[in-house]
Chain A
């Protein structure tokens, strides 16, 4: 093994900005500060934590989708060696509370109780029934098998349309499986449909997905019985929200709870939640006065961690014969699963603002029915409502183009908001501040060789080539930067959408950035260092970022919804601005100049007209720390906070093009070329942005081609492990060509828009559109996802599917 000196390791890829002095950090492909620990195994995953006296919790789960619990007997488990405790739902009923749902989307939404352990009835395979606590994970697993449970089976209901008949009720007390109906309308769709030359109607299925962050979930709770304090380590994206919710659910005073998200191995929405096991571990730690650990196995997680998507979309589009869109009508059924998790009902509702996408129209109608079934609850999975909407609209645009005999790109061009129409108020009521769909599309078409591939497609069709070529388009946008608090209020969300940052200027001139975001792979430590380095004029290396511990970073709204940079990163920038203003005051005082005459550039304060009179910010930090000679009445600190509440969402967009070869003899699809041109506004670190796009593409393509959570009629998850749920490997995915255009957001001072979900949102319809495009001459106008070779082959055998 040859070895390389650590000192030789580069710190940057290649600079993209014109910056001859090498001082501007924003826009540089800085290598990540996070990596050194991660590539050497010096990690702090929740499951790594071992504490004196620690015991292990395991959860017994229902093997039935729906049943009455007649009896739970834990006595045999308790009799086993090394077992400390075992509790049924009934044992904890008085203290376990109900898991929170923070998004009651309508006033009459049905919100049934959601006990962390089921007490009377189980409602999905995997619903918790009892816990055991033992000295190690093996002993806990053994003890689980000794628990006896008698069930009286009840019928399962796994199909949404069947559930809506209310023949089998998931929650008897709710009286219906219809959790809510949420309508939105602008303009008169029926009227415009009457005037239309063409109306196209399709039903699309958004299959259920399992997020599969590579780190399974886990939690460790350390109690300090004497003072009734608890430290909760959790694999969570939301340490701050989790603390609040644990306080509310368990009645623990909020100030006695500290939540830490140590290293977290991916989330994609699946760790944006408050889970039964987090509550149970806290209750058990409180009862036993010992540290308690729970870690899910992957197969357990496939049942007990939220799923994503799962919608039936009935979409209708009305247009003139020249392709001008008149209106869009969307009827959604969203499978919520058996219970409402933290934001379950809100996920499909987010789609209401995105089905209209980048297109202009006169009328829009959206209705969403949330439906209970006896399955694992659904909640946010990368994109959360927006990939579903983007899929629906980008698929129907292709269907409309086919109906009209138009090139699908021409149809889009005819209807999208042109670059000189921004800011633009959409039919769904959002104001898109900026964008340039023409520029992104032109770049993508060139990189893709759109015209060349269309010619090739034509030739292959004419020669009846057994390998047919399909071209898929997705000209998508998304709403990011969740979210203006006032807007969240109008949507009945239970909290605000701000983000906090604090800057601590240390006496040595080094900087601590305290952020309310909770990164778990996004590289905030690096990106926030770049933002602070520019704003304060200090070296990138001198900045440390503190996060994900409610005691060290007490205020935050955490990481999800492509919000971290747009809200949290901007908060860092603005908090640094406050530091500079304080420092300017000190500098003016020390330089004996008027504050207005003191300039700040590159980390140095200098007096206008006499550049020799200058002081670096580090020296100001030391002088402020000493406090010997400050302006009268000034507090001796440069430290500053900023809580940023965004004025608007941000609207990244892009054009993705996908070419798929389909072997018509076997049905096997091969992605031959994938081009993604994204406009995410100003870019802090292009390397990180590209990485986010790659990862997003992989997940979106996985939905199109590989993944589906399947239930049988009895409500068993038949894709219950990684053997059956197909997460693609490197061998299954293509090389991506990625590029960017840059139209800055006008709603924040950094001009940033967010990038975490773009690839996922855009890619699924691009791939499916390509597959359908290849098959359309054979009379096929849809293939259900995942578009497996078998499904494609069957479609080829049977014509229209």
Chain B
């Protein structure tokens, strides 16, 4: 067992964990942050994507002990405070552009899109398609996801102007 400390969605935790415990299992099984789902065992699908110290990572591809001392934001911490807190523009755009069907890929897709827009605030359609290459969706055919990210980009640009 190894002692780790971590802030997840604004709450700090202090826990003993097995060194082999994946971050995503720590979030889901230990902390009950089940908003972040698991879609594969090979780090291909991106469903588990969270924000780790300001960067999107696949939380199935890191061990909980590796991120000792970090700040993690999951889909459940992206909106403003409270269960009906204000949505992030990417969340809002996913809703308005019908960029989700079953919603299983959605948390990872949204977290990856937030990261993409941080790196490239004015992406082209091609940039979005390539930027989200590590996140698989089986329902939407991606077209509305791409449109949602472009809409969110426009909105974020307007907000910072």
Contacts and interface: CB of A to CB of B under 8 A. Distances in A.
A698 B142 contact: yes
Interface of A: 1-6, 9-10, 13, 31-32, 34-43, 45, 47-48, 50, 136-138, 212-216, 263-266, 268, 297-299, 520-523, 687-688, 690-692, 694-699, 721-723, 727, 729-731, 733, 735-736, 759
A9 B87 contact: yes
Contacts of A721: 40-42, 44
Interface in B129-150: 129-130, 132-146
B4 to A, nearest CB: 16
A40 B75 contact: yes
A213 B138 contact: yes
A692 B92 CA distance: 20
A9 B79 CA distance: 13
Contacts of A43: 34-35, 37, 103
Nearest to A211: B138
B21 A41 contact: no
Contact of A265 (B21, B37, B79): B37
Given A41-B36, A48-B28, A521 B101 contact: yes
A48 B144 CA distance: 27
B101 A691 contact: yes
Given A35-B100, A41-B75, A41-B107, 6 more contacts: A32-B95, A39-B106, A215-B37, A523-B101, A721-B41, A721-B44
Residue of B39, B95, B96, B105 with most partner-chain A CB within 10 A: B95
12 contacts: A1-B114, A32-B98, A39-B95, A41-B107, A42-B83, A216-B38, A216-B40, A522-B101, A523-B101, A695-B141, A729-B142, A733-B141
Interface of B: 18, 20-21, 25, 28-29, 32-42, 44-45, 47, 74-76, 78-80, 83-89, 91-92, 94-96, 98, 100-107, 110, 114, 125, 128-130, 132-146, 155-156, 159-160
A35 B75 CA distance: 13
A722 B104 contact: no
A723 B42 contact: yes
Contacts of B135: 729-730
Nearest to A733: B142
A730 B42 contact: no
Given A214-B139, A695-B139, A733-B141, A6 B103 contact: no
B41 A731 contact: no
A213, A264, A691, A727 interface centre (most CB from chain B within 10 Å)? A691
Contacts of A47: 28, 34, 37-38
B103 A730 contact: no
B142 A730 contact: yes
A727 B100 contact: no
A625 B100 CA distance: 39
Given A31-B96, A41-B35, A298-B45, A691 B140 contact: yes
A259 to B, nearest CB: 19
Contact of B44 (A38, A40, A215, A723): A723
A37 to B, nearest CB: 8
A50 B29 CA distance: 8
A735 B143 contact: yes
Given A3-B80, A13-B96, A697 B141 contact: yes
A687 B37 CA distance: 26
Given A31-B95, A48-B34, A214-B105, A4 B89 contact: yes
Contacts of A34: 103
Nearest to B74: A41
Contacts of B87: 3-4, 6, 9, 39-40
A562 to B, nearest CB: 15
Contacts of B20: 138
Nearest to B114: A1
Nearest to A726: B44
A211 to B, nearest CB: 8
Given A9-B92, A136-B29, A733-B142, A40 B40 contact: no
With a 10 A CB-CB cut-off, give which of A138, A298, A523, A730 has the most chain B CB atoms: A730
A521, A692, A733 — which one has the most chain B CB atoms within 10 A of its CB?
A521
B102 A264 contact: yes
